[in-house]
Chain A
Amino acid sequence: MSLVFRLLKRSTGLLGHVAILAFLLITTGASAQIDQEVYDKGEKIFKANCAACHKPDKDMTGPAVKGATQRWEGKGDLHEWIRNSQGYIKSGNPYAKQVFEDHNKIIMPPQAVSNEDIDAILYYADNYAPAGAKPGTTAPAPETAAQPSSNWEWLLITGLLLLVVLLSLGGVRHQLSNAVREKQGLNPEPPLGTWGRIKRWAGRNKGWASVAVLLLVVWGSVLCWNFLFRIGVYGGDKAEHYKPSQPINYDHTLHAGADNLAINCQYCHSGAEKSRHAGIPSANVCMNCHQAVSEGPATGTAEIAKIYEATGWDPTTMTYSGPEKPIVWNKVHNLPDHVYFSHEQHVAVGKIECQECHGPVDTEMDQVQQWTPLTMAWCLDCHNTTEVTVAGSDNGYYKEIHRRLAETPMGQRELRKYLEDEKITVRELGGWECAKCHY
């Protein structure tokens, strides 16, 4: 159901709401026959314990789980077989032995699962519907919803309305004054046209006219300036963040989101703790899971097939047989070459959460975008406020730094200066120095 909510969140337009509600009604109706609770429980246990070697509906390293109940009907104790297959073979069950030999004699390790768990797994497998048939996963929701208009568009419309009102009022006034003149026996004023009237007004009120022109110029410049500032990769709060398209529609919310797979960021970005680069995972890291998972909930096999193509994996023969083709990603977070940024320092030593700089990648970014400005001012701001535990730190490095500060006269003087705001910040330990990042 979380997916549905996610989709709801994404499509803010009315049409989207309607479409999804309708869809929801239909699909929930269709899947009403199965016991969703048992199914979900089974799915959870299956993914945690079995999915590395089994698929619900297809043979993989191990046999398909679907239909196991029927296959084992009258041939032995399926529960015992699943819990401890080797032990069960030793007990002399001929069918167990046959299954073992049919599947290349790959040993399935004993599993700590209760009979209830096994039943849930089997229920899940038997009722397993491949991705696409599941609720809300046929295709990404069409993003046809109208975008909400921004403020200045409204202003423009109001302004135009005002102008129309003004112009019609002017017309009325003109008519009225002509009527008055007619009454006084004067000839009616020749019609001047809008521009002529503006000019006449300007000629009569030079001061106001200059103010108006000045305001117009200032307004124009501000518009221009703002427009220019929208050029670039980071739009701040006002414009789209940099969000390049990627060769694979990789969804971080699905992989890292707490509601979904909740894979730790560093499982894939393993460099973050040991290198300056967090790194884009190499395709072999993807294959750790995707050897088994060939279909995604949203995109089916299409996107995962791209990993297979890159690694040369043939899902039918389960071998790496094709040529390798590296995946060319579009880099999202770019720093200039003359900046040395180290993930290691910030993650392993500073213990900063990835999200502090990269934003809610795990919960909101189905496509990665640049969340923070990554400008030098932004870096320095953080360095200026972030506190470093120096006194009383467990880290021997900072202990030594503190000792040097505390035990010498000049150190004490410096320490007093540091502690004027009652904390030692990154800046005070040199975090604003040029050669900390530029060399």
Chain B
Amino acid sequence: MSSTKRYWQDLSEMDPAGPPAKAEEFNEPMPLDQVLADGSITGSTTSRRDFLKFLGFSVGAATLAACEAPVIKSIPYVNKPEEITPGVANWYASTYYDGEDFASVLVKTREGRPIHITGNHRFGINRDPRSGKGVVNARVNSSVLTLYDSERLPGPMQVTEGNFVQQAWADADKAIGEGLAKVSAAGKRTVILTSTVISPSIKAAIRVFKAKFNLNISDGDPSVNASVGGAVDHVQYDAVSYAGIASANLKSFGKWAFPSYDLTKADVVVGIGADFLSNWGSSTENTWQYAQRRKPELATESLPMSRHWQFEARMSLTGANSDRRVAVRVSQLPLVVMALHDAIAEGVGGSRISNAKLDESSAAAVAQCAKELLAAKGKSVVMCGVNDEGTQVLVNSINTMLSNYGNTVDIRNASPLFQGNDAAMAQLVKDLNDGTVGALLIHGTNPAYTLPNAEKFKTGVKKASLSVSFSSHADETASLCQWITPDHHWLESWGDHNPKAGVFALTQPTIRPLFDTRQWGESLLKWSGTDTDWRSFVQTVCKDTMPGSWDQHLHDGVYQGATEPTVEPLTFSADVADAATRASESAQGAGEWEVELYTSEALGSGLHANNPWLQELPDPITKATWDNYVCISPEDLSALTGKSFKELYIGQESPAQVLKVTVNGTSMELPALLSPGQAPRTIAIALGYGRGANGERVGRAACLRNPDGSPAPVGQNAYPWTTLRGNTVRYEALNATVEPTGGTYAVALTQTQMTGMDRGSIVKETSFTVWALNKPEETYNPPHTLAVHEDVNNDGKINALDRVPATSIDLWAEHPVAEVGHRWGMSIDLNSCIGCGACITACNSENNISVVGKDEVRRSREMHWLRIDRYYTSDTHEDTPGLSWAGKLASMERPSLSPSVLFIPMMCQHCDHAPCETVCPVAATTHSEEGLNMMTYNRCIGTRYCANNCPYKVRRFNWFNYLTEDFSQVNPAWDDLGRMVLNPDVVVRSRGVMEKCSLCVQRIQAGKLEAKKDGRPVRDGDIETACSSACGYGAIIFGDLNDEGSKVRAGRDDPRGYEMLEEVGTHPNVNYLVKVRNTSDDDNHHA
């Protein structure tokens, strides 16, 4: 008997026409009739039985064929190099310098392949003596990957009308040599265009080259090289220019140079639009110096915790770390400098030079800032990022009035970095177009992409009778040249560097060149008729610069020579009034919308856009990957689009609003990201994106390809909006129009606008005064308590006041790790963490973490084992009166317009009571007696229960096999060359398994083994995880918690220490130290 009952899922099913979905299931009728009408089918002689026979045979054959075990080949060396033992890593001290970042590094090689880069922990200007580690940023430690970029040029290329033909070096040398001779004979100029050169050997090679082709040897002051009319000129041009500072120093002190800062001596640090912790100045040096003065425990009477002011438009990494951040529009930054100058001048008994009009709150902040600076005379520093000579002269004047020269700022022993001269570059473009330049040799710079007037440069290059690029890729500039004679990757190179007065560093090759490339210095020598190999040349030059044993210097990587004594600072002698006029001029012309063009933490100037690790490294603040975008204040965007904050939420299925930004008649449509803390009516757009838009082969990940092969650049190029004003390039456009297009664009974020929501168990922050004065830790680090059904407070009643600390309640028996054997753990000091993300890329490199590409990141499927959570503060607090409970929660979700920002590195917490372990049906994730939460990939069947049950959301699932062709555009380990970067000590995970931070168990095992072999206990500091070793400032400390004397144990027992989500009772082996800001009540009032 059948039932007449009907069930339906939705009302549409009751419609006799059926639900619309069903009706639309087959848009077109299936062509069954057509198929059946095909005579060849009905007339087929293959019967069903035949089919089954074939099937049976094939299955049988396949089964038999599968029976044979594969034979694995093993090929030992014929002549094993003495220093190589297969399976054992060799480390080499070397030096990274790309024209922007400098770092003394250690390169880890396995069987002759470099696979990992970390800071030199013994020597170098980027070494933090306190933590005993070397600072590297994400670009430095990711650069190992670009070595294995399969789009690198295989050898010297002759380019004729866009066709690249590989030639032999001998032919290239002959053709270029003849070309140079012809140019020289014709009396035309030869120009060597480079980024800032700090290598004494390269300078010497250029001298040799000049001696050959030029009569007028002047390798002097870069400030004058534009005017030298000799036959060979060396023009230095930096994509992101510091020419404003250099020329201000020329005006002020008669020295074209970038000053050397010492932040370890600064009690008060003021940044005005200078992102000095990320992308401004010698950042690998700045960061550790800064972090050293930010640890409250180390503060003494004479060396108090430093106080950091930041005036800026965009919320930068530096601003996020500041104690007091003041958001001002970019056009106002020169005015801030002027106002500060006035205030300081008044303070030291000088006179005002201007009447800069600032809005009330900014003016008050400047006044307060000046007061603090004056109180710390000689122990303060003001740094300004505005690339304008006038403004920078005023900054010099401020630092002079504060007696900072010779203390925190050194111009006598100035930095050899950042010598780029915008005026010289502009002159060169002009000369190229005038046809006075016969030959152009380009190294380390990409003006066709980075120049504001790139089009003019492009036409100019065509007019040179010889153009040679040393680029490793056929990039925007190289593909315009007639010849590309590719330089080695730095890991294949010999080189020397002089990054700071008196400091010399060596680069040594860690692999034999992969391609038929040649070091560009050697090419210069060859063309000058000198047949020396580059190594011997460098060695000869170093005899003078680095006296002593070459082997020792090579071993250390760094040689510390003498510096000029700094007792007598140079005298400031610039016209301040004139500078003020020029500074105020540069602030004029501000329209309704201003655009700030910045360099992002990951990509910098765009030189490394071909590095997928960097493309997928989330921006520290916006957490966006694989794109550039408009950073805009939430209020502004809401007003522009007429949408509420809720509607502007960006997520997997909620794309970003697209804004059309127009500057000087050119427009770009870019997605808009809410950026709390952004100055009103000022938007910010990152440079360094949009590489290879014309189809140049700029490297694997820099420019993706559409299915039809056309280029799909990552982001858009904002360099055309930079402008040459006076003799410097400016990175702001003061008059722009911004309008919503109504369109949307999917942006891949790894985290949305999250606030701490007053959950004291995630983000804990306090001020130095509270920390210092109210030592009882309950005030700033209260333990989390839970109410129990027991009268614990003895008030005779059982109610919500009966609370016990969360840690005292436990569901499980104690795990036997405390004091038994090892107990690996981490302690992360939120005060030392500046959020740079070098740990993430170090982890990628150490643990073979797949790159998944934008679309997968958008679906929250990024594979990073370590992430840095960014939290904003909100204006509403738990105790804010006048709001309903729900209203309070809703508004606590909204970041403050002027928030403070906190970074929390988050990786597997290795909980003693791990929620993931209890839910795994196959025991693929278990606990070790050393406190590790172990993940066994081959046992994992991919239920993902563990990820669901993890309160920290640190588990990552392999949705796909990322080593397949589907991910070939983004995943470096996809091809044979890219695979060489993989760490052979860590297995490559396949589709369908869960993975997560292992606390670098491979390094733990190796470290224990070393100790056992030596017959000694594991020493504290012997084992470092990839992240802790990459964190030069010592924010991440790894070690054995059972070792009473260890640093990590000290972190564990620190009164600032707390466990993340303590109330969940997971008992993590990772703890955090409360962030302490050097704030006063006044700051809190303004924040």
A330-B1015 in contact given A275-B87, A311-B78 (Cβ < 8 Å) = no
- Output the residue of A281, A311, A411, A434 with the most chain B CB within 10 A: A434
**A429 contact set on B, CB distance < 8 A:** 821
State A339–B809 Cα separation when bound (angstroms).
39
0/1 interface trace, chain B 83-119, chain A, CB 8 Å (1 if under): 0011110000000000000000000000000000000
Residues A349 and B67 in contact in the complex (CB < 8 Å), given A324-B79, A326-B77: no
A4 at interface by CB-CB < 8 Å: no
Neighbouring B residues of A407 by C-beta, 8 Å: 819
Stretch in B583-591, B711-719, B998-1006 touching the partner: B998-1006
B67 neighbours in A (Cβ, 8 Å): 231
Beta-carbon contact of A435 and B69 below 8 Å: no
B75 interface residue (CB < 8 Å to A): yes
Contacts of A400 in B (CB 8 A): 1017-1018
Given the complex of chains A and B, what is the CA–CA distance between A168 and B763 in angstroms? 93
Cβ of B666 within 8 Å of any chain A Cβ, yes or no, is no
Q: With CB as the reference atom, state the residue of chain A lying closest to B990.
A: A338
B1015→A433 contact, CB < 8 A: no
Which of A325, A334, A411, A435 is close to B819, meaning CB atoms less than 8 Å apart?
Answer: A411
Answer yes or no: A401 CB below 8 A from chain B CBs.
yes
The residue in B78, B79, B80, B937 that gathers the most chain A C-beta atoms within 10 A of its C-beta is B78
Minimum CB–CB distance from A137 to chain B (whole Å) comes to 28
Contacts of B932 in A (CB 8 A): 435
Confirm or deny: A203 has a beta carbon within 8 angstroms of a beta carbon on chain B.
no
Q: Decide yes or no whether B375 CB sits under 8 A from chain A.
A: no
Q: In the bound complex, do residue A242 and residue B78 qualify as a contact, i.e. CB atoms below 8 Å apart?
A: no
Complex interface: chain B residues within 8 A of A284 (CB): 77-80
Q: In the assembled complex, which residues on chain A have CB atoms less than 8 Å from the CB atom of B75? A: 326-329
- Contact across chains for A329 and B73 when beta carbons are under 8 A apart: yes
| B918: min CB distance to chain A, Å | 16
How many A-B pairs fall under 8 Å by CB? 167
Verify A433–B76 contact, CB threshold 8 A. no
Interface string of A308-352 (1 = CB under 8 A from B): 001100000000000011111111001011101010110011000
Query: Does any Cβ of A come within 8 Å of B1013's Cβ?
Result: yes
- Would A281 and B816 be within 8 Å (CB), given that A232-B69, A276-B87 are in contact? no
The CA of A275 and the CA of B1018, in the complex, are separated in Å by 19
* B714-736 contact mask (Cβ, 8 Å, vs A): 1 or 0: 00000000000000000000000
User: Does A414 reach chain B (CB closer than 8 Å)?
Assistant: yes
Look across to chain B and name the residue whose beta carbon is closest to the beta carbon of A245. Answer: B71
Cβ 8 A contact of B816, one of A327, A328, A413: A413
User: Is A331 touching B76 in the complex (CB atoms < 8 A)?
Assistant: no
B1002's nearest neighbour on chain A, judged by CB, is: A439
Taken together as a complex, chains A and B put the C-alpha atoms of A271 and B74 apart, in Å, by 15
Contact of B69 with A277 in the complex, beta carbons under 8 Å: no
Contact A233 B1005 (CB under 8 A): no
In the assembled complex, A206 has its CB within 8 A of some CB on chain B: no
Are B1001 and A435 touching (Cβ within 8 A)?
A: yes
CB neighbors of A among B781-833 (8 A): 814, 816, 818-821
Minimum distance in angstroms from B76 CB to a CB of chain A: 4
- For residue A325, which residue of chain B has the nearest CB? B78
Q: Which of A270, A331, A404, A435 has the most C-beta atoms of chain B within 10 angstroms of its own C-beta? A: A435
Kindly identify which residue among A329, A405, A434 contacts B936, using a CB–CB cutoff of 8 Å: A434
Inter-subunit contact B929/A433 (CB<8 Å): yes
Contacts of A285 in B (CB 8 A): 80
| Contact residues, B533-576 vs A (CB, 8 A) | none
Find out whether the CB atom of B821 lies under 8 angstroms from the CB atom of A404. yes
Minimum CB distance partner of A337 in chain B: B987
> Is A41 located at the chain interface by the 8 A CB criterion?
no
Q: Kindly state whether residue B55 has any CB partner on chain A within 8 Å.
A: no
Closest chain B residue to A285 by CB distance? B80
Task: Knowing A430-B821, A430-B928, A439-B998, say if A396 contacts B1016 (CB, 8 Å).
Answer: yes
What's the tally of chain B residues with a CB closer than 8 Å to chain A?
A: 52
Contact A439 B1001 (CB under 8 A): yes
- Among residues of B, the one whose C-beta sits closest to the C-beta of A435 is B934
Q: What interface size band does chain A fall in?
A: 35 or more
**Contact indicator per residue, chain B 936-957, by CB within 8 Å of chain A (1) or not (0):** 1111000000000000000000
Picked from A331, A349, A413, the residue with its CB within 8 Å of the CB of B1013 is A349
Interface set, chain A 337-370, CB cutoff 8 A to B: 337-338, 340, 342, 344-345, 348-349
Nearest-Cβ distance from residue A2 to partner chain B, whole angstroms: 29
Question: Which of chain B's residues 987-1043 have a Cβ closer than 8 Å to chain A?
Answer: 987-988, 998, 1001-1002, 1005, 1008-1009, 1011-1018, 1042
A16 to chain B, nearest CB (A): 30
Which A residues are CB-close (under 8 A) to B998? 435, 439
B985 contacts the other chain (CB 8 A): yes
- What's the Cα separation between A328 and B986 when bound, in Å? 25
Q: Within the assembled complex, what's the spacing in Å between the Cα atoms of A282 and B79?
A: 6
CB-CB < 8 A to B453: which residues of A?
none
Is A348 touching B1013 in the complex (CB atoms < 8 A)? yes
- Interface of chain A residues 415 through 439 with chain B (CB within 8 A): 429-430, 433-436, 438-439
Selected contact of A342 from candidates B69, B1009, B1016, B1042, CB within 8 Å: B1009
* Min CB gap A290→B, angstroms: 13
Contact with A along B36-69 (1 / 0, CB 8 A): 0000000000000000000000000000000101
Kindly state whether residue B896 has any CB partner on chain A within 8 Å: no
Contact with A along B515-549 (1 / 0, CB 8 A): 00000000000000000000000000000000000
Is A244 engaged at the interface, CB distance under 8 Å to the other chain? yes
Contacts of A270 in B (CB 8 A): 85
A220 at the interface (CB under 8 A from B): no
Chain B nearest Cβ from A282, distance in angstroms = 4
- Minimum C-beta distance from B341 to chain A (A): 58
By a CB distance below 8 angstroms, the chain A residues around B76 are 279-283, 326-327, 329
Chain A residues closer than 8 Å to B938, beta-carbon distance = 336, 338, 438
Q: Give bound CA distance, A244 to B928, whole Å.
A: 38
Q: A352 to B987, alpha carbons, bound, how many Å?
A: 26
Residues B819 and A404 in contact, CB atoms below 8 Å apart = yes
Cβ contact within 8 Å between B1013 and A328 = no
Check if A397 is an interface residue, CB within 8 A of chain B: yes
14 further contact pairs, Cβ within 8 A, besides A232-B69, A280-B74: A271-B85, A271-B88, A275-B85, A283-B79, A311-B78, A324-B79, A326-B75, A329-B73, A330-B74, A340-B1005, A348-B1013, A404-B820, A408-B820, A439-B1001
Residue numbers of A with Cβ under 8 A of B are 231-233, 242, 244, 270-271, 274-277, 279-285, 310-311, 324-331, 334, 336-338, 340, 342, 344-345, 348-349, 394-401, 404-405, 407-408, 410-411, 413-414, 429-430, 433-436, 438-439
**B residues in contact (CB < 8 Å) with A:** 67, 69, 71-80, 85-88, 814, 816, 818-821, 926, 928-930, 932, 934-939, 985-988, 998, 1001-1002, 1005, 1008-1009, 1011-1018, 1042
10 A/B residue pairs, CB under 8 Å, sorted by A: A271-B87, A283-B79, A327-B76, A328-B73, A330-B72, A331-B74, A336-B938, A337-B988, A396-B1011, A439-B1002
Which A-B residue pairs are the 3 nearest by beta carbons? A275-B87, A435-B934, A400-B1017
